[in-house]
């Protein structure tokens, strides 16, 4: 089993590096003015992407063999699988539309998902009794595939917005677009910070009241905010700047707030450095690279991604989920936070298709909806799993 786990980890690491290399080749398709060379770079890029995808499939299979169950049972496994499904959806859409620049934006999102997944425990763990069902891989993998396809609509929508929003003057479009890019930068900053302090084996332990009793709370990042009523017991580490509010009583509530604050601070620092280097807004810096992009075609990709991904997501996240819920808990629906947000996601994309087809919401409006839909997916992935407790929470 140990050898399989090692092989699985190496395959995932290899896929990460391969996706990164493919991203540079897709970048060459935009900057190269000669069509012949650009096409060659695009073909190399998609070829390398397929190799990376196969490597990640190898990771998935070997981890399944090592654990004895589908590796989608914790946040690390699910998020890496989500990234794999995004790459799979991109590969399919690439061969339909032959858009090289789509890879330049889709692969970095997949890389961020894989890197974000590595922030969580990677150890194999046995399944709890309620998860010992074939519906685990039927429901979760189908829902993740749907989300991966829907995420391509975000990539296409973001490309459309960067290409079309007028950067010569300030407006609500430029402000919101810059905020979206800041969130991406903050995610990168969080990964860099977490990886750095993890490599340094940083830990800060507090004695604090937990569920009415004294217990230990361990931070993996320096404490900007400590637990309410907590006392730092680790010597030689930074003392918290302030304590969490008294109503944050959960064991990890203050720790999660601390992580959130580090993401904001790290994002601001990294974003500020980028603005200092580029001397303009991030979107304004990227826009000249997308001059050759056909906005109507990108808009079509965003729509097709939703048209394909929506029924797949509905099948996996709602229909299969309700069948499994009936078998596991003797009820089809229970208003669990994850169920509620799956329903919100369903209604949002249903509204997207309705507005697109009956009201003619194309172009800018459609692109903003695609970006907003990805925000809902990520809220479901991060906040519902890490902050809001429920039967489906991975944390």
Domain ranges, ordered by start, for the chain = 2-167+280-386
Q: How far apart are CA 6 and CA 312, in angstroms?
A: 33
Residues in the chain: 395
Contact 261, 243 (CB under 8 A): no
pLDDT given for residue 395 in this prediction: 46
CA distance 188 to 109: 10
How far apart (Å, rounded) are the C-alpha atoms in residues 49 and 16? 10
Question: DSSP of 188-218, one letter per residue?
Answer: HHHHHHHHHHHHTT--EEEEEEETTEEEEEE
- Write out pLDDT tens, residues 189-228: 988 888 888 888 898 888 877 666 777 888 888 988 888 8
- Phi-psi label, residue 94: left if phi above 0, alpha if psi -120 to 50, beta otherwise: alpha
pLDDT at 348: 96
Residue 384: which residues within 8 A CB-CB, separation 6 or more?
337, 338, 341, 390, 392, 393
Q: Give strand pairing partners of 242.
A: 225
Q: In the chain, at which residue ranges do the beta strands (DSSP E only) sit?
A: 204-210, 213-219, 225-226, 231-232, 242-243
| Continuous segment of H or E residues that includes residue 299 | helix 295-313
Write the burial class of residue 364 (CB in 10 Å: 0-12 exposed, 13-18 middle, 19+ buried).
Answer: middle
Contact present, 378 and 112 (Cβ < 8 Å): no
Give dist(CA 169, CA 194) in Å, integer: 36
Strands 225-226, 242-243: pairing is parallel
CB proximity list for 259: less than 8 A, separation 6 or greater: 190, 221
Asked if 309 and 147 count as a contact pair (C-beta separation under 8 A), the reply is yes
Residue 211: count other Cβ atoms within 10 Å of its Cβ. Answer: 8
Model pLDDT for residues 320-364, shown as the tens digit of each residue = 888 888 877 777 777 888 888 889 999 999 999 999 988 888 889
DSSP state of 232: E
CA distances from 57 to 15, 48, 51, 64 (A): 9, 14, 10, 11
Distance CA 32, CA 30 (A): 6
What is the spatial distance between Cα 368 and Cα 161, in angstroms, rounded to a whole number?
Answer: 8
Residues of the chain with pLDDT under 50: 390, 395
**Which residues have a Cβ under 8 Å from the Cβ of 151 and sit 6 or more positions away?**
86, 89, 109, 374, 377
So what's the pLDDT on residue 298? 93
CB neighbours of residue 353 within 10 Å: 15
Distance CA 285, CA 91 (A): 27
């Amino acid at each position: 089993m140990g050898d399989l786990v090692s092989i699985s980890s190496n395959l995932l690491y290899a896929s990460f590096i391969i996706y990164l290399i493919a991203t540079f080749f897709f970048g060459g398709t935009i900057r190269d003015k000669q069509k012949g060379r650009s096409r060659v770079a695009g073909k190399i890029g998609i070829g390398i992407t397929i190799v990376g995808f196969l490597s990640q499939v190898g990771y998935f299979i070997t981890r399944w063999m090592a654990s004895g169950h589908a590796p989608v049972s914790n946040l690390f496994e699910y998020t890496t699988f989500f990234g794999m499904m995004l790459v799979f959806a991109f590969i399919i859409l690439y061969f339909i539309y032959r858009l090289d620049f789509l890879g330049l934006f889709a692969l970095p999102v997949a890389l961020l998902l894989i890197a974000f997944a590595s922030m969580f425990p990677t150890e194999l763990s046995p399944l709890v009794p309620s998860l010992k069902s074939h519906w685990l891989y039927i429901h979760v993998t189908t829902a993740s595939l749907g989300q991966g396809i829907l995420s391509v609509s975000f990539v296409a929508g973001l490309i459309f917005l960067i290409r079309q929003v007028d950067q010569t003057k300030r407006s609500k479009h430029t402000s919101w677009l810059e905020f979206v890019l800041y969130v991406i930068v903050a995610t990168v900053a969080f990964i860099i910070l977490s990886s750095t302090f993890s490599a340094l084996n940083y830990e800060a332990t507090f004695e604090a009241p937990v569920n009415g009793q004294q217990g230990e709370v361990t931070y993996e990042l320096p404490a900007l905010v400590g637990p309410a009523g907590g006392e730092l017991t680790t010597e030689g580490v930074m003392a918290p700047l302030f304590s969490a509010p008294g109503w944050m009583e959960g064991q990890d509530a203050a720790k999660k707030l601390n992580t959130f604050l580090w993401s904001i601070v790290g994002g601001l620092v990294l974003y500020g450095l980028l603005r200092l280097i580029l001397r303009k807004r991030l979107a304004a810096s990227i826009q000249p690279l997308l001059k050759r992009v056909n906005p109507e075609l990108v808009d079509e990709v965003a729509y097709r991604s939703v048209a394909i991904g929506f029924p797949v997501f509905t099948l996996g996240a709602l229909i299969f989920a309700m069948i499994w819920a009936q078998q596991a808990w003797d009820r089809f629906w229970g208003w669990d936070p994850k169920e509620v947000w799956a329903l919100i996601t369903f209604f949002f994309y249903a509204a997207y298709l309705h507005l697109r087809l009956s009201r003619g919401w194309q172009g800018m409006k459609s692109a903003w909806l695609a970006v907003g839909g990805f925000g809902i997916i990520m809220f479901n992935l991060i906040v519902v799993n890490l902050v809001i407790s429920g039967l489906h929470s991975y944390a």
